[in-house]
Chains A and B, each alone.
Chain A
Amino acid sequence: MATITLSVNFSGGLETLFANRTAHTVSIPARVPVDAALWDTWPAAPESAGAPDADAVTMKPADMAYLLHHLRTRVLTARPELFLEHGTVRPGILALINDADWELEGEGAALLHDEDEVVFISTLHGG
């Protein structure tokens, strides 16, 4: 299965939720199920019991919504409620894709490509 590799950076205090590390390299599938309910078990080993049949699942290119899910379930080490709320980043957290505001690219719907750089900055800490 094809994967894409992203560089993901956390700052403004968010790094404390991600093993106190600012820079992470993250690999995710290039294509993911459209149905977010399948993400918890995706990508599944083909022989694992109960895994969805890859051919029967409608797929889409990986996007920011999938990356957020991946970060929360596989990279985050503490207090998920300080990162995500209602399926998106908590208000007050900024995200950039290749140095552009993700609000320009459709936020969760923004598509990701190999070697993209994603940055998350919390604005909630200290003045």
Chain B
Amino acid sequence: MPPKTCALCSSARAILKRPKTGQQICKDCFFYVFETEVHNTITEAQLFKPGDRVAIGASGGKDSTVLAHVMKTLNDRYNYGLELLLLSIDEGITGYRDDSLETVKRNQEQYDMSLKILSYDELYGWTMDAIVAQIGKKNNCTFCGVFRRQALDRGAAILNVDHIVTGHNADDIAETVLMNIMRGDIARLGRCTSICTQGEDTIKRSKPFKYAYEKEIVMYAYFKKLDYFSTECIYSPDAYRGHARAFLKDLEAARPSAIIDIIHSGEAFEIKEVVKATQKIQQTCKRCGYMSSNELCKACTLLEGLERGMANAGVTDRARKKMDAEGPAPENLRIIPFFQQPAAPHRTDISIADTST
């Protein structure tokens, strides 16, 4: 079979069949369209303003490694005027996170960005290794997820950044839409497709890869020879997400537009005001100052359970009541350092728009 020719430039050899369009394109055209589509996502959603300090949530994995590379490329090419930093969370998982952090440290040199690593150990006094040693592998993803979310916000506050970007891609978002539908979590369904989330006093978070397919992210990393880490977490992977992922990949094999179709379905759901009203009003945690929908934030509840040897207290309501019945938290309980929201920096009202035309 003779080599296929690129559908865009009609000269070079095609190296990729695009999952979105089926188009066959060459390496240079692929780099260009991939980067340009991310740029369009950024400008259409007006994600940034000149002068913004933006932390890239970096795990050393493929998505965040490609995100760091593409953010740097676009910032230089289109003069976004952003100050880019890397923010990594060290969950304390020997043989997994310690290796992937080595990748992030190499990225820091390759991309010439400053790097902040914040560990569960320094923030909560517990590594995931220690948590799993106490509670086993059953609910450890709950702890890790809650702790990571808060750690990212706290890391961003320490770095005094305006914005956190994460490497969530189109496949991840479609997967989350499916999971929220299957769980009947309509409130989350309404939020999970938004490209940018910002509550009253949370740090802005966004997903520049919202429309980028996983296949293209991996191909981009491969052809650019980017250095990334790809080992599954050694503690039980999220089985429910695993099934959603396998199902989604099967759908995509039968119909390549399935991923974007599912994201659009998620966006098209109209959430009734009644459902919105059941979402609890945000307050701040009385113990650590982090935003919370209860008196105590989820992380403080989980931490108190760990410290008092009743780890399930943060996982189920029944165990929580049982712990409360055993009396108030002891005086000398280990607590999370108080969260200080960074003072809002001066913002201009000009967003970065496409000035290349």
Contact = CB atoms under 8 A, between A and B. Distances in A.
A71 B302 CA distance: 46
Given A123-B215, A125-B61, 7 more contacts: A101-B15, A101-B16, A104-B17, A123-B218, A126-B230, A127-B61, A127-B169
A22 to B, nearest CB: 11
Interface in A72-124: 90-92, 94, 96, 99-101, 103-106, 110-111, 119, 121-124
Interface string B1-31: 1011000000001111100000010000000
A17 to B, nearest CB: 12
B192 interface: no
B222 interface: yes
B229 A121 contact: no
A11 interface: yes
A125 B17 CA distance: 22
Determine which residue in A12, A121, A127 has the highest number of CB atoms from chain B within 10 A of its CB, and name it.
Answer: A127
Contacts of A52: none
Interface stretch (B43-51, B246-254, B276-284, B331-339): B246-254
Contacts of B62: 12, 123, 126-127
A22 B217 CA distance: 20
Interface in B38-62: 59, 61-62
Contacts of A90: 249
Interface string B322-334: 0000000000000
A13 B17 contact: no
Interface string B190-221: 00000000000000000000000011011100
B230 A11 contact: yes
B258 to A, nearest CB: 11
A121 B231 contact: no
A92 B252 CA distance: 9
B64 A125 contact: no
Interface in B227-249: 229-233, 245-246, 249
Nearest to A124: B245
B13 A126 contact: no
A121 B232 contact: no
Range of interface residues on A (Cβ < 8 Å): 20 to 34
B167 interface: yes
Contacts of B230: 11-13, 122, 125-126
Contacts of B116: none
B168 interface: yes
A101 B17 contact: yes
Contact of B231 (A92, A103, A126): A126
B63 interface: yes
B249 A12 contact: no
11 contacts: A12-B230, A13-B231, A13-B232, A91-B253, A92-B245, A92-B249, A100-B4, A101-B16, A104-B17, A123-B215, A125-B232
Contacts of B253: 91
A126 B168 CA distance: 11
B91 interface: no
Contacts of A110: 1
A105 B15 CA distance: 10
- Give 10 closest A-B pairs by Cβ, nearest first: A91-B249, A126-B61, A127-B63, A103-B17, A125-B230, A123-B218, A100-B15, A13-B230, A127-B61, A92-B249
Contacts of B222: 94, 96, 119, 121
Interface in B52-97: 59, 61-64
A96 B221 CA distance: 14
